[in-house]
Structure 1
């Protein structure tokens, strides 16, 4: 049995080795020249196989090295890109790339508006060769202080306009520019090919003019009992700017901007909120610094629109005179709806019915009571509020005869309102909001409400406000802007709840 198994194993071994033995036998019987050729071919194939294996191993090692380098440098790369995120070119053509952080746990408490940050004064070493420069610097600063004192004097004549020579201040800026040799960089930062879609080409042009235009002259304008305001006229490159301004007696000969106080910086926020909501009723506004005003703090500058004063400044603006009772009556009659001319005795004003809906929504989000509720009848005012100081709050006893104020339209377009003097308040809590602003309103614009419902209000406001670098920095950067948007978002939630509770219709309001 054992012998048979051994013989069977040998036969299997010979059977397996038979092809190899046959091949070697054939190789021995070949001529020497053919045997040499076969050996050479085998050597070449072996050499090619060895070289290919070495190349593949080297390539794999390089890939592992690159992955290790990326793994070690990935954290540093992300850190650098995060720090420079707001100053980098966006990845999309028409959007400024700003990430949204998680919601803070504690709500922000804001009193009025955020105070602008004061810039630290940088000490410069004055050399002997710059003695004349320093002397000229001091003398021109004294001239600027004198101009500032002149601005603060109120005039008594009606519609009086006083021009201020700006040449000395212009030389002051020119000299500092030559000394520092810094290029002029616009504070309106648009890094992509197009601005956000809610800003028109005219808006961007006006913003760049207000922020960057060379100031040619400054005027103090007073009209009646109202407080005086400042207008600056800027260089636009037109031939009109080359004429002598001292010979003109109009308010603005070229293109101008109205300079407001730093405490009115909600004008800038209101402009961007108006555009994001698709209302398009405010005048363009930016934040700008003037060395001769308010210690160089950023001031809101609003575009001057002469069409609001069609008969001249002395005649006043194209304002609608209405009492609260007349206003509520016009809401019930739905004046000018479907272009139907109201009856002469209807008591309708020239304003289209949908304009009141847009005004109410805008004023509620910013809590602007100076138009529809200047007597502060719809909320608990503070002692420092204007309505309390002027004792207007007592007029709430007879609310029907309370006058509306600042209801303005352009002279050639009486159907549409222009939202001016947009001083909002960010320090009113949700339990003290002025719901009187929404009284009598039965419809609201669909486009604006859709933005509030889509939860993209923060993203759009960040992208829009980011364009105005001076305003962005004056509010404390991203952190300060987020606090302001927090307030608007909470009020938007209250408004949406109000819409559902009172059955207010959300309809398309074109025009």
Structure 2
């Protein structure tokens, strides 16, 4: 019987076997039918392989045939394969001693090599087994969540994952503090409401080594002057009015209870008012027992202030209300001499009223506490100023400051806000006579993004962030400002206050 006859009989047998499988399993299970077809196809290919190999079998290929037969039938012995370029070669076996010959021989072109990969079956779903948790899809993160991660990274980077070092490592800590800035900017760019000058001033106030600290010769004895290594304090620079001409960037240290100055600076920048001086928080071991305290940029260009009103221009409440009615310098119109206008633009009062109401800063426009019920610890109650509210027209405004080169704009100083004042005791006298508000600030209040922007802004100041109890403590302060903002918007609708662009 020839090999062709054997191959034809084998193929006929396999085909009958396939028909039998179809008749038994094809009706019951569709998946079984697919498996049967796959087995039949493989068997047919295997039969073709036997037929083609049998027709080309030569006597001296007996050893090679046996080796390849062992490979296809699952034997352990494997035939070595050599790859040269894009051509595969088999190593010839020596028919005399059974050893392998290193002379490469091309594979037979009519031989089909098949690699079967077993399909991985799914694991059985057994009751009681614990399935792995599926990873939640990422839909983006809010800025608050990002800040928490950055805060944890910063803390790990700061402490190295260990507890606070002992007093023996103070020198090492001071060196690390000097290298690491307290102003945290991770994205490469600061928030858009800060200018380059703001960031530069904040870094100097927060990180610059201190050379000397001297008391400022003025009526406010608690103010101190910070001088870095590049700024030398000279007694000859002290003017008769008590002002100091600082040749470089200097700072003023205030009390730890005045930390609202830092909040006021960030709120001013977020609202787009840009009327406060840069302020940061800093810890100084030799000042205030190392407690965090606000450090405010010293601006020698401010006009000298009066010792009684601490203002560069004297204004009474009655004159101030008259200026609001005339809208001095509004739309570029010069006021008449009999209007009693100063060089201050009308829009500056609108910005100040908005800013002071959100923080409830009463020391500028309502120093005598005539618009709310003061507490015993308030300065107006201690000094008995609230008893003079019967004649408010003759009450002076305080902390009205201008610059020498720019007297038309105001500079907001001494921005001590009060967050513990109840909503039933807010000072609405700060809004008397105001008929316009800046569009940029009101748009922020209406956009419901005030919280997001303030959190992003406060995160830059690491010392302030930690001194207020992290995000949880700062969110409480923002809650107060947001509620006051809603009250302000309601007040605007009730009194018909307009919103106009105030880019000047």
Q: 1:86 aligns with which of 128, 147, 151?
A: 151
User: What aligned pairs does 1:304-453 form with structure 2 within 5 A after superposition?
Assistant: 304-309=298-303, 319-453=312-446
2:99 matched to which residue of 1?
none
**Cα 1:377–1:32, aligned 2, differ >3 Å: closer, same or farther?**
closer
- Structure 1 Cα separation of the partners of residues 393 and 53 of structure 2: 126
User: What aligned pairs does 1:13-412 form with structure 2 within 5 A after superposition?
Assistant: 33=55, 48-50=114-116, 53-54=117-118, 57=120, 71=133, 84-88=149-153, 124=167, 176-177=170-171, 182=176, 184=178, 185-224=180-219, 226-236=220-230, 241=231, 245=234, 249=238, 251=244, 252-309=246-303, 319-412=312-405
> 1:361 aligns to what SS in structure 2?
helix
> 2:227 aligns to what SS in structure 1?
strand
**Cα 1:45–1:334, aligned 2, differ >3 Å: closer, same or farther?**
farther
Asked if 1:474 corresponds to 2:467, the answer is: yes
Say whether the 8 Å CA contact 1:324–1:399 is kept in structure 2: yes
> 1:487 aligns to what SS in structure 2?
helix
- Structure 1 Cα separation of the partners of residues 469 and 153 of structure 2: 19
- Structure 2 Cα separation of the partners of residues 476 and 179 of structure 1: 22
Greater relative contact order (Cα < 8 A, sep 6+): 1
Task: Give, in angstroms, the shift of residue 219 of structure 1.
Answer: 1.8
> 1:286 aligns to what SS in structure 2?
strand
- Structure 2 Cα separation of the partners of residues 183 and 391 of structure 1: 46
5+ residue gaps, structure 2, are: 1-15, 21-47, 59-64, 73-109, 124-129, 155-162
- Structure 2 Cα separation of the partners of residues 28 and 486 of structure 1: 84
> 1:219 aligns to what SS in structure 2?
strand
Deviations 1:98-127 (A, max 9, x none): xxxxxxxxxxxxxxxxxxxxxx9975469x
> 1:397 aligns to what SS in structure 2?
coil
Say whether the 8 Å CA contact 2:201–2:249 is kept in structure 1: no
Name the TM-score, length of structure 1 as normaliser. Answer: 0.68
Say whether the 8 Å CA contact 2:437–2:498 is kept in structure 1: yes
Task: Give, in angstroms, the shift of residue 223 of structure 1.
Answer: 2.6
> Relative to structure 2, which stretch is displaced further, 272-281 or 386-395?
386-395
Deviations 1:25-59 (A, max 9, x none): x99999962699xx999x79885251xx23x649x
> Relative to structure 2, which stretch is displaced further, 227-236 or 382-391?
227-236
> 1:500 aligns to what SS in structure 2?
helix
2:85 matched to which residue of 1?
none
**Cα 1:258–1:34, aligned 2, differ >3 Å: closer, same or farther?**
same
1:508 matched to which residue of 2?
501
Say whether the 8 Å CA contact 2:309–2:397 is kept in structure 1: no
- Structure 2 Cα separation of the partners of residues 268 and 27 of structure 1: 86
**Cα 1:473–1:45, aligned 2, differ >3 Å: closer, same or farther?**
farther
**Cα 1:57–1:253, aligned 2, differ >3 Å: closer, same or farther?**
same
Say whether the 8 Å CA contact 2:275–2:411 is kept in structure 1: yes
> 1:415 aligns to what SS in structure 2?
coil
Task: Give, in angstroms, the shift of residue 87 of structure 1.
Answer: 4.2
Say whether the 8 Å CA contact 1:452–1:492 is kept in structure 2: yes
> 1:393 aligns to what SS in structure 2?
helix
Deviations 1:299-356 (A, max 9, x none): 10000001103x6999997612111111111111010011211111111111101111
> 1:413 aligns to what SS in structure 2?
coil
Deviations 1:136-168 (A, max 9, x none): xxxxxxxxxxxxxxxxxxxxxxxxxxxxxxxxx
Task: Give, in angstroms, the shift of residue 462 of structure 1.
Answer: 0.4
1:132 matched to which residue of 2?
none
Task: Give, in angstroms, the shift of residue 246 of structure 1.
Answer: 6.6
1:4 matched to which residue of 2?
none
> 2:407 aligns to what SS in structure 1?
strand
- Structure 1 Cα separation of the partners of residues 211 and 500 of structure 2: 46
Deviations 1:426-456 (A, max 9, x none): 0111111000001111110111011111110
